């Protein structure tokens, strides 16, 4: 039994990019909020590490494009130890909630919504979820993602509830 199997690694990879996802509520944002979201449009690449039982290199790429209704759509792919993760979604400012939201869907059946706030000239998103791995074990997932004018930094952790064992990832992205 491998505690960090392929699905766990896919969930970890999914969490790496959870801030770049699809908000379900219509967005009606102020011009400055829309401009901030659109400032991230472009091609991004990242390389980092996933540590747990072993340390592995994670390589990711993201494409952010203008979407409908003041949203920014994205698509991305990460590879880790022969495992590929595809991610799609949209960033938006949701006026009804007065906040930035990002949600995502992946080919690893993981979905999530992260709440974002302005931090200086950028955005910071946080995600807290509970899910199960491929063996049905409960895991806590947390991600902190910061977006600035020239970088996206992702910090991610998966913790097994029963044992406390964990996987952590750090991936800096640049254009």
In this prediction, residues 151-171 reach a mean pLDDT of 88
Assess contact for 21 and 90: CB atoms under 8 A: yes
Binned at pLDDT 50, 70 and 90, residue 22 comes out as very low
pTM of the entire structure? Answer: 0.76
Residue 3: which pLDDT band, with cuts at 50, 70 and 90? very low
> With contact defined as beta carbons under 8 Å apart, do 116 and 122 qualify?
no
Which positions ≥6 away from 69 have C-beta within 8 Å? 26, 27, 28, 92
| Euclidean distance between CA atoms 140 and 112, whole angstroms | 13
């Amino acid at each position: 039994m491998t505690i960090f199997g392929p699905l766990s690694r896919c969930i970890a990879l999914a969490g790496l990019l959870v801030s770049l996802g699809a908000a379900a509520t219509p967005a009606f944002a102020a011009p400055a909020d829309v401009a901030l979201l659109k400032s991230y449009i472009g091609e991004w690449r990242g390389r980092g590490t996933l540590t747990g039982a072993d340390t592995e290199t994670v390589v990711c790429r993201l494409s952010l494009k203008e979407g409908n209704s003041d949203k920014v759509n994205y698509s991305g792919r990460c590879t880790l130890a022969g495992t590929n993760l595809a991610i799609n979604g949209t960033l938006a400012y949701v006026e009804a909630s007065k906040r930035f939201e990002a949600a995502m869907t992946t080919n690893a059946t993981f979905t999530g919504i992260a709440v974002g706030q302005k931090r200086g000239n950028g955005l910071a998103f946080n995600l807290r979820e509970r899910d199960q791995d491929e063996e049905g074990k409960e895991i806590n997932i947390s991600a902190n993602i910061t977006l600035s004018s020239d970088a996206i930094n992702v910090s991610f952790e998966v913790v097994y509830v029963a044992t406390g064992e964990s996987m952590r990832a750090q991936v800096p992205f640049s254009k």
